[in-house]
Amino acid sequence: MQVKSYPSQEELLKVYEWFETIPTVANLLIWDWDLETNIVQWNDVIYTMYGYSHGEVEDSFEWWQKNVHPDDKDAVGASLDAAINSGKMIWSHEYRFKRQSGSYSYSIDKARILRDSQGKAIRLLGVMQDISARKTAEHMAEQNQKDFKYLAASIPQLIWVARPDGYHEYFNKQWLEYTNQNFSDSRDIDWKKIIHPDHYDKAWKLWERSLKTGEDYEIEYKLCNGTTKEYRWFLGRAIPIKNEKGKITKWFGTCTDIHHQKLTTQFQTFLSQASKILASSFDYKETLDSVVKLAVPEIADWCSIDLMEDGELELIALAHKDPKKVRWAKKLRSTMPPDLTRNTGVAKVIQTGKSEFYPVITEKLIKDSTKDKKVLALIKKIGLSSMMIVPIIVEGKTIGVIQFTSSESKKHFLKQDLQMAEGLAVRVSFAIHNAQLYDQAQKVENRFKSLYESNIVGVIFTRTDGTLISANSYFLDMLGFTEEDLQNGINLKEQTPIDQKQKQFEYIKELNITGMLQPFEKEYIRKDGSKVPVIVGSVMQDFDKQEVLSFVLDITERKKLEQRKDEFIGIASHELRTPLTTVKGYIQILERIIQQMGDDKLNTYVKKTNVYIDKLNSLISELLDVSKMQAGKLQLNYTVFEIEDVILDTIDAVQSTIRSHLILYKGGTNKKIKADRNRLEQVLTNLLANAVKYSPKANQITVETKYENNEVIVSVKDSGVGIPLTEIPKLFQRFYRVEATAEQFSGLGIGLFISSEIIQRHNGRMWVESKESEGSTFSFALPAYREK
Ligand code: ADP
């Protein structure tokens, strides 16, 4: 039999020490409640745990009860009653217990219920623990969760949370609404319906890599709107959430809509790439092909450019990502050209020069646009969903269109797509315009080049100071220069005869004012010193640089011909004059004999013959004068006399031969001049004869003299047919007659030439003022004679 052994005194003491020490070290508040006396005993932890000092803690149930949080009191009481009365061995409850400081701590209280042999509870032996820290953490976590959900619901981003293994355990409202997915377990989500096929594989690969490596996840992809089926660009990001040990506990992901920014940058990139292509060559048909290719499939499924050629729209470029479809569409287009008489689509854009925008192409829209069954079937086949047609405008004229069409992508163009399309059209217009200008310039340059190289005319670039910048071989040959001479420098001023330098100076002045010079005659001095007569026409090429382009024609042959003509006129008139003088002599003898005979009739005939001989004589004299002037052989016999003397004498002489007009004289300067009297008479007679001849309906002519600025001015005024303004500069040229009146009035066109030459030889000037149908005033000015 085994003898029951009792613990020794020492052993009991040890147990007691444990009992005292362990709870203190473990921070366990131990209490012992005697139900009968209601006395509660506490161990010392009550002081450290709740901050009470000795004396503040009472050994009673009431004290404990008093310190339970008022809101928890009932629940704690009820649970105690229930535990005690139900025969349970263990009671446990969480409640708030008042600290000495007045604040409450979350505590968990657990007790063993000791019962007597009848099962009646007599004592509760309990352990109380402060769990405030844990409670606060739990509370915060709860609050965080609430805050997160609130935040997730209120921001525009699509948000999701996944477990470390990638299982999606949370999506915010926005995500669910955008994707419009129906699922109870996230493993059932059909991601293929959400992520664009072009981005699907990449997205998963990246996600798997992140799950493996713990690296952040980032991607730009298109996600499908589950309701509208439209794809939009999103920036997808996910970051791992790690615990204090660095272990990933969750993945937090966002999808931010970057569609607008993405399109803007996409458009900008597209437009700048298009600009680069367009600027790369002047062969715009080739560049346009590259531009439409650039637009598919990112901007549109189809892109095409048509240009007007001979009143019809020609397809210049067409692109689709599938080359087979391009071939098909081109073939189709050749059999079905667009009908430009319609009031929709391409035709309307061509007519109005404004864009046509069809963001959503509905069945009705298609049906309204055409009745042609073939076309309808075709549109159905292509599956049009959206379209933009923008005009290509050059110099205010619509010369073509750019079409963007969306079909299989089901994309609907937006306002900003249209802006981009119009931006492209502007760039295309510029490119075409530039190419056209370049083409024109090229043509002009080619024409000029062939002229330059043709050797039928001299072409030179000079500076107004005479420096020869470049010259074709015709010009160099004409002046006897070589290319080498040109390289060494030629100045055309030095190649101009001294007597023409003043004129040259005036020409340059005119060139600087009007920018051009009508062809004029001049001479150049050749390298060998001989002279070459030329006609020069010039235009100012560059006012700043004073560069002039001139055409120079060698007129040596013409001059020789003229010279021969002058010589002929000289000889002919000389040869005619000798027999005429003899005829005149015989007529005068005849006249005398007839006068003596007293036959009046014969007398009249002889007198008339005499008048015509005089006319013939003066004509021949004039012709002789012309040839003398050309040869520079006109002699002048100067005397000093009063101008009025000559004028009055001449008026008398002319008036005696005409009855149709009365010649009035105004003025009287009493000024003397030094001149050839006969030649001056010749000038006046000429002007008076013209005044009579060219004013057949008038009956008066006025001659006036004035003295102004040391000049004597004589003018002859008629009220006749007048002279067109454009004819005036040529009037004093040899043999020049105004064509409009030449048939009506007989003449040779040399009178004014001789007159102006005579006046010029006297250092005077001659000019005319005239108005058609109102009359003319011919004037000349001569320097007054100053007695020494
Ligand atoms: P001609 O009179 O012999 O033709 P001129 O040299 O005298 O030759 O005149 C040249 C041209 O000038 C004329 O043909 C004429 O057209 C025009 N003309 C000259 N004087 C007058 C005038 N007083 N009124 C109108 N036209 C004139």
The answer to whether residue 740 scores a pLDDT higher than 90 is no
What pLDDT, in 10s, does the model give residues 132-155?
Answer: 888 888 888 888 888 878 877 778
Q: Supply the residue whose CA is at minimum distance from atom 7 of ligand 1.
A: 751
User: pLDDT tens digits for 691-700?
Assistant: 999 999 999 9
Ligand 1 geometric centre to CA of 689 (Å)? 10
- Atom index in ligand 1 nearest the CA of residue 716 equals 23
Mean pLDDT of the chain: 89
**Residue whose tokens read 């008479």:** 681
**Strand pairing report for 231-242 and 217-224:** antiparallel
SS3 (DSSP) at 628: helix
Ligand 1: residue of 738, 743, 756 to mutate (most ligand atoms within 8 A of CB) is 738
Q: What's the pLDDT tens digit per position in 338-348?
A: 888 888 888 99
The atom number, within ligand 1, closest to the CA of 775 reads 24
What interhelical angle do 677-693 and 751-761 show, nearest 10?
150
3 state DSSP class of 635: coil
pLDDT at 497: 94
Residue 435 CA to residue 429 CA, distance in Å, equals 10
Ligand 1 midpoint to CA 756 (Å): 13
Cα(550)–Cα(525) distance, rounded to whole angstroms?
Answer: 17
* Nearest atom (ligand 1) to Cα of 750: 6
End-to-end C-alpha distance for the chain, whole angstroms? 188
pLDDT for the residue 490: 95
Helices and strands (H, E) in the chain, number of each type: 24, 27
Nearest to 725 by CA among 710, 735, 740: 740
Return the amino acid letter for 612.
Y
Q: Is any ligand 1 atom within 6 A of the Cβ of residue 214?
A: no
Pocket probe for ligand 1: among 694, 733, 750, 780, the residue whose CB has the most ligand atoms within 8 Å is 694
Mean pLDDT to the nearest integer, 751-758: 94
Atom number in ligand 1 closest to CA 747: 3
**Res. 569: pLDDT tops 90:** no
Q: Is 752 in the pocket of ligand 1 (CB under 6 A)?
A: yes
| Structure tokens, 663 | 């010649």
pLDDT confidence of residue 578: 85
- Residue 738 beta carbon below 6 angstroms from any ligand 1 atom: yes
Element (H, E) at 647: helix 643-657
> Quick check: CB of 751 below 6 Å from ligand 1?
yes
Check if 611 has its Cβ closer than 6 Å to any atom of ligand 1. no
pLDDT at site 342: 81
- C-alpha 764: how far from its chain's center? 59
Residue showing tokens 């750019």: 402
> CA–CA separation, 355 vs 401, rounded Å?
9
Is residue 746 helix, strand or coil?
A: coil
User: For the segment 768-786, what is each residue's pLDDT rounded down to a tens digit?
Assistant: 999 999 999 999 999 999 8
- 720 Cβ closer than 6 Å to some ligand 1 atom: yes
Concatenate the DSSP letters of all residues of 489-519 into one string: --BTTTTS-GGGHHHHHHHHHHHHHHSEEEE
Q: Is the pLDDT of residue 702 over 90?
A: yes
Query: 593-602 in b/e burial notation, b at 16+ Cβ within 10 A?
Result: ebeeeeeeee
Ligand 1 atom with minimal separation from the 691 CA: 23
Residue 751 φ/ψ, nearest 5 degrees: -60, -50
**Helix (H) / strand (E) containing 470:** strand 468-471
User: Ligand 1 in contact with 741 (CB < 6 A)?
Assistant: yes
Non-local CB neighbours of 721 within 8 Å, separated by 6+ positions: 694, 695, 741, 772, 773, 775
Q: Is the CB of 683 under 6 A from ligand 1?
A: no
pLDDT at residue 328 in the model:
86
The HSE-up count of residue 349 (CA atoms within 13 Å, CB side) is 26
623 Cβ inside 6 Å of ligand 1? no
Residue 139, C-beta contacts closer than 8 angstroms, at least 6 positions apart: none
Report the b/e string of 211-248 with b at 16+ CB within 10 A: beeeeebebebbbbebeeebbbbbbbebbbeeeeeeeb
Cα Rg, the chain, nearest whole Å? 60
Nearest CA, atom 14, ligand 1: 737
Residues of the chain with pLDDT > 70, as a percent, come to: 99
Residue with tokens 């520079």: 632
pLDDT score for 629: 85
Q: In the prediction, which pLDDT does 71 show? A: 95
Cβ pair 291, 424 in contact under 8 A: yes
Give the distance, in angstroms, between the CA of residue 685 and the centroid of all CA atoms in the same chain.
Answer: 68
Which atom in ligand 1 lies closest to the alpha carbon of residue 695? 24
Q: Whose CA is nearest to atom 21 of ligand 1?
A: 690
Question: Which amino acid residue places its CA nearest to atom 23 of ligand 1?
Answer: 691
Confidence label for 297 from pLDDT (cuts 50, 70 and 90) = confident
Answer yes or no: is the C-beta of 361 below 6 A from any ligand 1 atom: no
Q: Which residue's CA is minimally distant from atom 18 of ligand 1?
A: 690
d(CA 187, CA 197): 19
What CA–CA distance (Å, rounded) separates 67 from 76? 12
Q: Please give the average per-residue pLDDT across 190-216, as a whole number.
A: 93
Residue 556 neighbours by CB under 8 Å, 6+ apart? 532, 533
Q: Where are the alpha helices (DSSP H) in 128-196?
A: 132-154, 173-179, 191-194
Please report where in the chains the tokens 């002599």 appear, as a residue.
585
**Model confidence at 26, in pLDDT bands (50, 70, 90)?**
confident
Statement: the pTM of the whole predicted model exceeds 0.95: no
* pLDDT grade for 3, boundaries at 50, 70 and 90: low
Sign of the torsion formed by the C-alpha atoms of 367, 368, 369 and 372: positive
Tell me the CA–centroid distance for residue 745 and ligand 1, in Å: 9
Distance 661 CA to ligand 1 centre (A): 17
CA-nearest residue for atom 20, ligand 1, is 690
User: Measured from the CB, is residue 731 less than 6 Å from ligand 1?
Assistant: yes
Residue 705 CA, ligand 1 centroid: distance in Å: 21
Asked whether the predicted pLDDT for residue 376 surpasses 80, the reply is: no
pLDDT tens profile 250-296: 999 999 999 888 888 888 888 888 888 888 877 888 889 988 998 88
Could you tell me if the CB of 690 is within 6 A of ligand 1?
yes
CA angle 164, 169, 174 (to 5 degrees): 125
Compute the distance from residue 540 Cα to the ligand 1 centre, in Å.
35
Ligand 1 mean position, distance from CA 18 (Å): 153
Tell me what pLDDT residue 202 has. 95
Give me the half-sphere count of Cα atoms (radius 13 Å) on the Cβ side of residue 687: 31
- pLDDT tens, residue by residue, 176-188: 999 998 888 888 8
Q: Give residue-wise pLDDT tens across range 570-626.
A: 888 888 888 898 999 999 999 999 989 888 899 999 989 988 898 888 888 888 888
Rounded to the nearest angstrom, the distance between the alpha carbon of 723 and the centre of ligand 1 is 9
Which tens digits make up the pLDDT trace of 331-375? Answer: 888 887 888 888 888 899 999 999 999 998 888 877 777 777 777
- The DSSP secondary structure of 67-133, one letter per residue, reads HB-HHHHHHHHHHHHHHHHHT-SEEEEEEEEE-TTS-EEEEEEEEEEEE-TT--EEEEEEEEEE-HH
- Give the per-residue pLDDT at 622: 87
Residue type (1 letter), 585 = G
pLDDT at 4: 55
Confidence grade of residue 705 (pLDDT, cut at 50, 70, 90): very high
Side by side, the strands of the sheet bearing 217-224 are 168-171, 158-162, 248-257, 231-242, 217-224
Helix (H, G, I), strand (E, B) or coil at 345: helix
Q: Map 391-419 to HEC letters.
A: EEEECCEEEEEEEEEECCCCCCCCHHHHH
Is the beta carbon of 750 within 6 A of some atom in ligand 1? yes
Which of 737, 750, 773 best tests ligand 1's pocket when mutated (most atoms within 8 Å of CB)? Answer: 737
What is the distance between the alpha carbons of residues 60 and 516, in angstroms, rounded to a whole number? 127
Of 547, 225, 272, the closest CA to residue 410 belongs to: 225
Q: Between β-strands 662-666 and 639-642, what pairing exists: parallel, antiparallel or unpaired?
A: unpaired
Give the mean model confidence (pLDDT) for residues 67-82. 94
Which range, of 35-49, 150-164, 215-229, 734-748, averages the lowest pLDDT?
150-164
Work out the angle between the directed axes of helices 556-597 and 600-631 (0-180°, nearest 10).
Answer: 160
Does 378 have pLDDT greater than 80? Answer: no
Ligand 1 atom closest to residue 718's alpha carbon, by position in its atom list: 23
- C-alpha 627/C-alpha 748 separation (Å) is 14
- Is the C-beta atom of 721 inside 6 A of ligand 1? yes
pLDDT digits (tens, 9 = 90+) for 222-242: 999 998 888 899 999 999 988
Joined tokens for residue 33:
């409640």
Q: Establish whether residue 749 lines the binding site of ligand 1, counting it when its CB lies within 6 angstroms of any ligand atom.
A: yes
If we measure between CA atoms, which residue out of 246, 230, 250 comes closest to residue 159?
Answer: 250
* Phi, psi angle pair for 787, to nearest 5°: -75, 140
Overall average pLDDT of the 438-466 stretch: 88
Instruction: Report whether pLDDT(495) > 90.
Output: yes
Ligand 1 pocket check for 33: Cβ under 6 Å: no
Quick one: pLDDT at residue 183? 84
Amino acid at 354: K
Residue with tokens 């003899």: 582
Instruction: Work out the percent of the chain whose per-residue pLDDT is above 90.
Output: 55
pLDDT reported for residue 1: 47
Closest CA to 496 of 547, 532, 446: 532
